[in-house]
Chain A
Amino acid sequence: MSYATAASTAPAPPPPASDGYADLRRLMGLMIGDEKHTSSATSTLDVLWVLYDRVLRVDPARVDDDDRDRFLLSKGHGPMAYYAVLAAKGFIDEEALRTWVRYDSPLGLHPDRNLIPGVEISSGSLGHGLPIAVGRALALRARRNLRPRVFCLVGDAEFDEGTNSEAVVAAARLGLDALTAIIVDNQSSSLRWPGGIEQRFAVEGWAATTVDGRDHAALEAALTSPHPGVPLAVVAEVEKKE
């Protein structure tokens, strides 16, 4: 254990060289057939890839390592990109992708942490991930393990759920600098967020930024930027949902 050696805002280690991104379309095809446009249109694909390829300190061989970063997919709906990335990074056997949504498959339309190694929360019902992420960050601080960071991906329509607002206020006031919220914004919120979701975090005291959700370099820079003493929100804008 190296609890005191790294601040929660320390930069991530250099990303391993990988051309796995190009393989994601094939992996998604194992689940959903050869719908060529589906993979590139998946709003979370690039954010998930950048997280697992360049940001998260996670290892499929050590999914219980207490020093690992925690990634919580709160927006559990439409998890094909998540499964594809987990397969590309060795958390899921590629063959399991072919069983997708079958009765006894580990891979359903919403992920279950009890069925997939390395999945940190079972999600699907919206608005639960960020509050649980706050609890995880608080527990890590209480246990004095300052190395892991907690990342939580939320959708812009999911952000409608009031529980997110509860978490945004508390995380800022409790100074949870181990926490990063990523909001994938494909403008699917029915009543919209005038002025942008970034404001909702910034006004509460988060470090907040908005980037192109398809720009890997911009995502990496935003997700690894220092935010001492406060949590970080990265709004990843992608094309409007059809």
Chain B
Amino acid sequence: MKTDTMRDRFVSVVTELLDSNPKVALVMADISTDRFKSNGAIDRHPHRVVNVGIREQLMVNVAAGMALEGMRPIAHSFAPFVIERSFEQVKLGFSHQGVGGILVSAGASYDIAAYGRTHESPGDVALVATLPDWRIHVPGHPDEAETFLRDAIASDDAVYIRLSERKNAAPAAIDGKLVVQRRGAPGAPAIIAVGPMLDPAMEAAETFDATVLYAATVRPFDRAGLRAAVDGTDVVLVEPYLEGTSAAEVAAALSHVPHRLLSIGVPRTEHRKYGAAAQHDEAHGLDAPGLRTRIAAWLHQPRHPPPPERVE
């Protein structure tokens, strides 16, 4: 059984794709370049594996320029740099030009928590989701990341793949749709777990009667799949990035039926803590015990609580 990380798999799969497909290009800004140097990819493909130095805005627009010339470029860096720092390049270089391309980030919301806020990116998915026609994949396992990479190379779409050091114990079936992991009784709450949140969500749900749905692709969001899977009124959305990022998708999917939604994710507040990612999960209630506590409290809330007092 492979024990590699998503980023390890990214390096091996992209290297293989570079070797086999002359349309594939990789543009980097000093992040991960050592890995493609040591495995020989840079030396074998000096014109298709390009390191532009610490220039992420250039990196994204170089990839866009290559896409305009019919290549299939991948731009890669940590999430704050490939998405947040270069967001206008993503918006104009790809979407506005009308070409697709592939963005692959590492680091996720706070994988390298000891680096602090500058290297955290809980808002990346929400940002990319403001643009039309981006496919956004949040794999929960290296095997899923590999599938998404290979599919992205084979298409002409705009694709964002968000890699993480966090992963589920086993890969799940992925086809862009919501996949039922556990079926609750009729009317039971539906828990949507995104990417690496599947294992903690499944563990948390052991004490509830609940249906658990897995989403590794969050844009386009599988609205039809959600409509088909939900036969009760309670929906819980568990995302490993900014809380509520897909809440509007859930609302749109269920706009015709009465429902209530609990959105769980990384809070918007600045946390100003270092340490390890697991400590941040615990602080945000994103580990299994935290999820269980929060979901249980919400499920047992009265359906029609008294209105809050008005504050003038």
A128 and B88 alpha carbons, distance in the complex (Å): 9
Contact A139 B69 (CB under 8 A): yes
Pick from B58, B65, B93: contact of A139, CB below 8 A. Answer: B65
Pick from A112, A139, A163: contact of B61, CB below 8 A. Answer: A163
Which residues of chain A (107-145) have a CB below 8 Å from chain B?
Answer: 112-114, 120-122, 125, 128, 131-143
A136 and B61 alpha carbons, distance in the complex (Å): 10
Interface size in chain B (residues, C-beta < 8 A): 30
Return A123 CB to nearest CB of chain B, in Å: 8
B68 within 8 A of A: yes
A137 and B98 alpha carbons, distance in the complex (Å): 19
- Give chain B residues whose Cβ lies under 8 Å from the Cβ of A142: 22, 25, 47-48, 66, 71
Contact B70 A131 (CB under 8 A): no
Q: 1/0 contact trace for B35-64 toward A, CB 8 Å?
A: 000000000000110101101011001111
A136 and B63 alpha carbons, distance in the complex (Å): 9
Given the known inter-chain contacts A122-B97, A125-B92, please indicate yes or no for A138 contacting B62, CB distance below 8 A. yes
Interface size in chain A (residues, C-beta < 8 A): 28
Return A149 CB to nearest CB of chain B, in Å: 13
Return A156 CB to nearest CB of chain B, in Å: 20
Nearest A residue to B66, CB-CB: A139
Nearest A residue to B56, CB-CB: A166
B121 within 8 A of A: no
Given the known inter-chain contacts A132-B93, A139-B71, please indicate yes or no for A166 contacting B66, CB distance below 8 A. no
A225 and B47 alpha carbons, distance in the complex (Å): 25
Contact B57 A131 (CB under 8 A): yes
Q: 1/0 contact trace for A82-123 toward B, CB 8 Å?
A: 000000000000000000000000000000111000001110
A162 and B96 alpha carbons, distance in the complex (Å): 21
- Give chain B residues whose Cβ lies under 8 Å from the Cβ of A163: 57-58, 61
Contact A166 B88 (CB under 8 A): no
Pick from B66, B69, B73, B92: contact of A122, CB below 8 A. Answer: B92
Contact A139 B57 (CB under 8 A): no
- Give chain A residues whose Cβ lies under 8 Å from the Cβ of B22: 142-143
B89 within 8 A of A: yes
Pick from B50, B88, B96, B97: contact of A138, CB below 8 A. Answer: B50
A167 within 8 A of B: yes
Return A146 CB to nearest CB of chain B, in Å: 12
Contact A128 B93 (CB under 8 A): yes
Contact B50 A174 (CB under 8 A): yes
- Give chain B residues whose Cβ lies under 8 Å from the Cβ of A120: 68
Given the known inter-chain contacts A134-B58, A138-B47, A139-B66, please indicate yes or no for A166 contacting B52, CB distance below 8 A. yes
Contact A170 B58 (CB under 8 A): yes
Contact B93 A170 (CB under 8 A): no
Contact A136 B58 (CB under 8 A): no
Nearest B residue to A113, CB-CB: B97
Contact A143 B69 (CB under 8 A): yes
Contact B61 A135 (CB under 8 A): yes
Contact A166 B58 (CB under 8 A): yes
Contact A128 B47 (CB under 8 A): no
Nearest A residue to B52, CB-CB: A170
Nearest A residue to B45, CB-CB: A142
Pick from A131, A137, A143: contact of B58, CB below 8 A. Answer: A131
A113 and B53 alpha carbons, distance in the complex (Å): 29
Return A39 CB to nearest CB of chain B, in Å: 28
- Give chain A residues whose Cβ lies under 8 Å from the Cβ of B58: 131, 134, 163, 166-167, 170
Return B91 CB to nearest CB of chain A, in Å: 9
A32 within 8 A of B: no
A7 within 8 A of B: no
- List 10 contacting pairs A-B, 8 Å CB cutoff, sorted by A: A125-B92, A128-B89, A132-B93, A134-B62, A135-B27, A135-B65, A136-B69, A143-B69, A143-B71, A167-B58
B residues whose Cβ falls under 8 Å from a Cβ of A: 22, 25, 27, 47-48, 50, 52-53, 55, 57-58, 61-71, 73, 88-89, 92-93, 96-98
Closest 8 CB pairs of A and B: A135-B65, A131-B61, A139-B69, A135-B62, A166-B58, A166-B55, A142-B47, A139-B66
A residues whose Cβ falls under 8 Å from a Cβ of B: 112-114, 120-122, 125, 128, 131-143, 162-163, 166-167, 169-170, 174
